[in-house]
Amino acid sequence: MTVRRSILALVALVVFSVAATACDNGSDSKRSDASTTTTTTVAVAPVVDCGNPVASFAPLDPMPAPGNMPAGSYMAEIQKRGRLIAGVSADTLLFGYRDPLSGQLEGFDIDLVRQVAQAIFGDPNRVDYKVVTYAQRIPSLLDGSVDVIANVMTINCERWQQISFSSQYLDAGKRILVRTDSPVTDISQLNGKRVCAASGSTSIDNLKNYPGVVVVPVDATSDCMVLFQQGTVDSVTADDTVLAGFVAQDPYAKIVGPPLTSEPYGLGVAKTHPEFVGFVNGVLADLRADGTWKQMYSRWLKPSGAVPDPPVAVYGRNQ
Amino acid sequence: MTTVTPPAASTPPTSPAPTTPRTPSPPTLLSPRSRARELLTGAFSGTPGRMRLLGAIAITVCLLFGVASFAAAARLHTDVENARANAAQLVRVQTIRTNLVTADANATNAFLVGGLEPASSRAAYTNGIATTAKTLAEAAAAQSDEAAAHERVNRVVATYTGLIESARANNRQGFPVGAAYLRQASRVVRDEALPTLERLVRVEQERVDDATAGAESNQIVLAVMLILTVIALSVAQLYLYSKTRRILNPSLVAATGIVVVVGLVALATMAWSRGQIDNAIDGPYRRTVALATARIGAFDAKSAEALTLIARGSGAPYEERFQTVSKEAKAALAADADDRATASALARYLIEHGKVRAADDGGTYDAAVALATGDGAANQAFGRFEVVSGRALATQAQDLADDLGRAATPLLPMAWLLLVAGIAAAVLAWRGMSQRLAEYR
């Protein structure tokens, strides 16, 4: 069901192109390996079988009132501490980025974190942001330095082995970015060209399926954009969501080609706190139901045009 | 005066002796070699001959004294001038390094503030780049054998300013890619310009060491020449005394006097110059190096502080860099007991930095940023260090140039005086000997 919906959403994205919404770039799963063929077979057989990867734990019912977290739960711990600690990106425009004008972190992922803080404290500002690279996302959950990861993170079975995910909050897919005057319309035309991707991302893994391209790895995806603008690389590959942020910063860049993968985004939580996953799922369920998700979507990802329905949450995973 | 016979009597027996066995059949045809030898033996045999010989030796030694001591004093002068030029070049290279690191720290800090960068930050950055360009041009003019290094630094500065402008342009439009440009700019300076400048610093330090290390040998040359000349002139006088029974030959006495007085004055001057050089090296030079090292470390630390805050939670490597470079800065200042003001300004900033870290680690990020920028305590404390250390550095660099300049000033006139003294002594020696020789005719 979800997969079918994702595909539809992705096909729609191809048509609407630039204002793109979906994508992920940070995952290191092998999930994308099989996804190279066409848009119709985007779903990939995971290396590790965990059932439906986007299936999460059921939301808490009833949801505790803000400022009144149930004793013994992880939420109570956070409430006692007084701040939610969230691992986010600071350079992914539209999702998590430091607004150069205000100096504040903003974006879709940041708003999600604020919603979680609102649900815990009744105050969306009680968040400590920690900027994490893609490669630091899982380790910082494992060592307990953050409560939640909201950083364009793809849900997949491999990662389920180490951490838990909330229900899916967005669909994304990998695409490529080229200059506006480029004749390239598909990644297959990039043979012999230099293509930039962030180290430790699913994007760079995905490039292994295209042995003809010259891979240029960098630390952060925004470094790709510098190289792209300097003409050092011919193309950048990342989630379409991230690339949309690039296009918004550079009128001489365009996103081309069909989505190469499907990347469902989820919030990451440590495996030891299933009740917190259920709580977050409750928050997300409210956002879907009361229209907040659509507001966030139109604010960050689709300033004009139709706002799609949020991805349908799938539950039923056993704790 | 009276006796003309003794030399004539003493010479004939010796001079014909060698000629007879050489010319068995035709006595008229002497080989040129034999004739030269005959002339020479004739010239230097007997009392007038010995007088001539001694006179020639005394004259030669006086001339040698003039030339060698001239060379020694001139070389010392050149060494001091070289040391001064290299020390000035060292200060220039350190200025370039400091300004690049400063510009980078200012750019990074301006970015941290967000929004429009403060005009003061921008002015500090522009000033840093302008000083760098100016100093680079001066450095290139002063030291042509490092042209490749200067050209390289120049190129990096051009690239760096380009990247900073890209970062600013993006920043002004609210594009977060500006941060990526800033990172790249920082990387370019650190990876490409600073190592080259560090090498230049080492080269110039070695040159200063080399130029000041050889100073002693020049004094030894002068002392040895002085002793030899006095011995030669004394021997000549003693011989004259034994032959003529005259206690003093005024010309030779005058020659000796000139050599001794000028030689001793020159020795004293050189010793004084060396004292000045040693003072300059132990004092202003060492302190200049220490202050420059401390400033570079501190500016690097300030930029690491900003980068730690920009990285927001994943800035541990930058904080490590802060600890490393600030320790270097502290160590550089610790050696200088005379300059407590700079050391305490640095210590004060390090305390304020601790508060920035405490605020950030304690979850009050905005408070940490406020402390580290604008009128925040840490930023103000750093500003004070910048002013205090900059003033101290300028003073020390000036003292260094002055001390070495003072050390060099008397050496060149001294060198000429030595040469003139040597020639004068030679002329006097010749006069003194020729007077006595004339009495033999």
When CB atoms are compared, the residue of A104, A132, A222 closest to B314 is A132
Which of A97, A129, A130 comes nearest B176 by C-beta?
A97
The answer to whether A313 touches A267, Cβ cutoff 8 Å, is: no
Of A217-226, A285-294, B43-52, B233-242, least confident by mean pLDDT is B43-52
> Given a cut of 90, is residue B115 above it in pLDDT?
no
Name every residue whose Cβ is closer than 8 Å to that of residue B411 and which is 6 or more positions away in sequence. B73, B74, B76, B77, B80, B269, B270, B273
Q: Which B residues in the span 167-186 are in contact with A, Cβ-Cβ below 8 Å? A: 170-181, 183-184
Nearest C-alpha of chain A: how many angstroms from B180? 5
User: Count of CB contacts below 8 A, A vs B?
Assistant: 90
Specify the 3-state DSSP secondary structure of A112: helix
Higher pLDDT, A319 or B375: B375
> What number of residues does chain B have?
441
Kindly list the strands in the beta sheet with A148-150, ordered across the sheet, starting from the edge strand earlier in the chain: A127-131, A84-88, A148-150, A268-270, A163-165
- Max mean pLDDT among A305-309, B85-89, B248-252 falls in B85-89
Please check whether residue B136 is in contact with residue B96, taking contact to mean a CB–CB distance below 8 angstroms: yes
Which of B113, B166, B172 faces A103 most closely, judged by CB atoms?
B113
What per-residue confidence (pLDDT) applies to A5? 44
Is residue A98 within 8 angstroms of chain B, CB to CB? Answer: yes
Does residue B354 surpass a pLDDT of 50? yes
CA B23 to chain centre: 65
Q: Which residue has the tokens 């560090």?
A: B198
Q: Cβ distance A87 to A136 under 8 Å?
A: yes
**Dihedral of alpha carbons A105, A110, A111, A115, sign:** negative
Question: pLDDT tens across B376-390, in order?
Answer: 899 999 999 989 999
Hey, of A84, A113, A222, which one would you mutate to test binding to chain B, going by the most B CBs within 10 A of its CB? A222
Q: Is A117 an 8 Å CB contact of chain B?
A: no
Torsion of CA A238, A244, A250, A256, to 10 degrees: 70
Given pLDDT bands bounded at 50, 70 and 90, which one contains residue B121? confident
* B112 touches A: beta carbon within 8 Å: yes
Which of B115, B183, B314 faces A136 most closely, judged by CB atoms? B314
Q: Does B312 lie at the interface with A, CB-CB under 8 angstroms?
A: yes
Is the CB of residue A123 less than 8 Å away from at least one CB of chain B? no
B115: buried, middle or exposed (CB in 10 Å: 19+, 13-18, 0-12)?
middle
Nearest CA-CA partner of A287 in A187, A180, A132, A150: A150
Q: Is A251 on the interface with B (CB under 8 A)?
A: no
pTM: 0.71
Higher pLDDT, B87 or A34: B87
Residue contact A129–B173, C-beta within 8 A: no
Nearest CB to A222 within list B179, B310, B363 = B179
Q: How many CB atoms lie within 10 A of CB A123?
A: 14
Spatial CB neighbours of B168, under 8 Å, sequence gap ≥ 6: B117, B178
Residues of chain B contacting residue A91, judged by C-beta atoms under 8 Å apart: 176-177, 179-180
Residue carrying structure tokens 């006179």:
B55
pLDDT along chain A (319 residues), means of 10: 42 38 39 36 53 91 92 94 92 86 88 96 92 86 94 90 94 92 92 89 86 89 91 92 90 91 93 95 95 92 76 84
Identify all chain A residues contacting B173, using CB atoms and an 8 Å cutoff: 249
Which of B164, B177, B314 to probe by mutation at the A interface, max A CB count within 10 Å?
B177
Quick check: A229 and B183 CB within 8 A?
no
Q: Which amino acid is at B325?
A: V
| Overall average pLDDT of the B44-50 stretch | 74
pLDDT of residue B28: 53
Q: Which of residues 46-85 of A touch B (CB under 8 A)?
A: 83
pLDDT score for A14: 38
- Cα(B306)–Cα(B113) distance, integer angstroms: 9
Amino acid at A268: G
Chain A: residue nearest B313 by CA?
Answer: A130
**Interface contact A169, partner B, CB < 8 A:** no
> Please, which residues have CB within 8 angstroms of residue A160's CB and are 6 or more apart in sequence?
A48, A50, A53
Q: Is the pLDDT of residue B5 over 80?
A: no
* Distance between CA atoms of residues A230 and B231, nearest Å: 78
| Chain A residue numbers touching B114 (CB-CB < 8 A) | 98-104
Q: Could you tell me if B118 lies within 8 Å of chain A, comparing CB atoms?
A: no
Low-confidence winner among B50-54, B59-63, B368-372 (lowest mean pLDDT): B50-54
What three-state secondary structure class fits A16?
Answer: helix
Residue B313's identity, in one-letter code, is: G
Q: Give the Cα separation of A94 and A149 in Å (integer).
A: 16
Q: Which residue of A has its CA nearest to B159?
A: A230
From the list B177, B310, B369, the residue facing A249 with the nearest CB is B177
Residue range B180-204: mean pLDDT, rounded: 88
| pLDDT score of A319 | 60
Min distance A55 CA to chain B CA atoms (Å): 31
- Alpha-carbon gap, residue B15 to B39, rounded angstroms: 9
The pLDDT score that the predictor gives to residue A6 is 43
pLDDT of res. B31: 66
Identify from A104, A226, A233, A250 which residue to disrupt to test chain B contact, counting B C-beta atoms within 10 A and taking the largest count: A226
Half-sphere exposure of A9 (CA within 13 A, CB side): 27
pLDDT of residue B119: 79
Residues of A in contact with B170 (CB under 8 A): 100, 249
d(CA B349, CA B353) in angstroms, rounded, equals 6
So what's the pLDDT on residue A11? Answer: 38
Is it the case that residue B4 has pLDDT exceeding 60?
no
A133 touches chain B (CB under 8 A): yes
**Which residues have C-beta within 8 Å of that of residue B163, sequence separation ≥ 6?**
B181, B182, B184, B185, B188
* Closest approach of A72 to chain B, Cα-based (Å): 24
CA atoms of B64 and A111, how far apart (whole Å): 91
Name the token pair of B424: 């004068």
Calculate how close chain B gets to A104, using CA atoms only, in Å.
8
pLDDT of residue A219: 79
As to burial, measured by CB atoms within 10 angstroms (0-12 exposed, 13-18 middle, 19+ buried), residue B4 is exposed
H or E element, residue A165: strand A163-165
Neighbours of B216 (CB within 10 A): 12
Complex ipTM = 0.71
By CA distance, what is B170's nearest residue in A? A249
Query: What pLDDT, in 10s, does the model give residues B399-426?
Result: 999 999 999 999 999 999 999 999 999 9
Candidates B113, B168, B173, B175, partner chain A, best to mutate (most A CBs within 10 A): B175
Distance CA B133, CA B135 (A): 6
Kindly determine whether residue B180 and residue A104, on different chains, have CB atoms separated by under 8 Å: no
Spatial neighbors of B46 by CB under 8 A, at least 6 apart, are: B6, B7, B10, B11, B14
Query: With b meaning 16 or more CB within 10 Å and e meaning fewer, what string describes B380-412?
Result: ebbbebbebbeebbeebbebbbebbebbbebbb
Chain B positions in Cβ-Cβ contact with residue A92 (cut-off 8 Å): 176
Work out the minimum CA distance from B315 to partner chain A, whole angstroms: 9
Nearest beta carbon to residue B174 from set A101, A136, A229:
A101
- Percent of chain B residues topping a pLDDT of 70: 88
Specify the DSSP class assigned to residue A255: E
Q: Which residues of B touch A130 (CB under 8 A)?
A: 312-314
* Residue B367 forms contact with A (CB below 8 Å): no
B203 vs chain A: nearest CA distance in angstroms? Answer: 35
Q: Does A103 touch chain B (CB under 8 A)?
A: yes
Mean pLDDT value across chain B: 84
Inter-chain CB proximity A100 and B114 less than 8 Å: yes
| Residue B198 reports pLDDT greater than 60 | yes
Of B425, B166, B239, B218, nearest to A230 by C-alpha is B166
Structural tokens at position B406? 């003072």
pLDDT value at position B440?
67
Q: Which residues of A are less than 8 Å from B365 in CB distance?
A: 128-129
Tokens 């007085």 identify what position?
Answer: B261
Where residue B38 falls among pLDDT bands split at 50, 70, 90? low
Taking an 8 Å cut-off on Cβ atoms, the answer to whether A131 and B311 are in contact is yes
CB–CB of B170 and A100 under 8 A?
yes
Task: Give the mean pLDDT of B25-48.
Answer: 64
Nearest CA in chain B to A250: B175
Between A36 and B28, the higher pLDDT residue: B28
- State residue A1's pLDDT score: 40
| A96-98 and A91-92 beta bridge pairing | antiparallel
Distance (Å, whole) CA A284 – CA A165: 12
DSSP 8-class letter at A49: -
